[in-house]
Amino acid sequence: MNLQEQISRIHEMMGVVNEIKFFRRRIQPSEIARYFSLFDEQVFYETNSYEQFKYELVLKSLEQIMWQEYNLGYEELPEQDEINYVNAVAEMYEDEIETLYRGFNDR
């Protein structure tokens, strides 16, 4: 492997490393949780299950922050990292999200 190939490979690897940290460097989970009340009712009526509600609520909140703070739309974000981060935040705030869901479900 010549020097140019090694440099290219290192750049590719750095891209992967940066992508993995993309959301964790920019947005704290507590910021996302503050947006739940903004989207909870809308997401409840657009989803068919608790699991879908949980995922979509976190996703909408995250994408709202990314748009407001960084002017980035979902199509510009690293997809797999976004999915992993949304799932991690959804698990962190499971109790809070479940309470919101039950509140709408009991109406």
Q: What is the pLDDT of residues 7-29, one digit of tens each?
A: 666 555 555 434 446 777 788 89
Looking at residue 107, what DSSP letter applies?
Answer: -
H or E element in which residue 10 lies? helix 3-20
What pLDDT score does 73 carry?
85
pLDDT at 34 over 70: yes
Cα–Cα distance between 28 and 70 in angstroms, integer?
14
For tokens 């809070």, the residue is 96
Task: Provide the token pair at 72.
Answer: 């980035």
Number of folded domains that form the chain: 1
For tokens 């995250």, the residue is 62
**Domain residue limits at 101:** 3-105
Cα–Cα distance between 13 and 41 in angstroms, integer?
41
Alpha carbon distances (Å) from 88 to 59, 85, 105:
11, 5, 24
Q: What is the pLDDT of residues 44-64, one digit of tens each?
A: 999 999 999 999 999 999 999
9-13, 52-56, 76-80, 88-92: which has the minimum mean pLDDT?
A: 9-13
pTM: 0.78
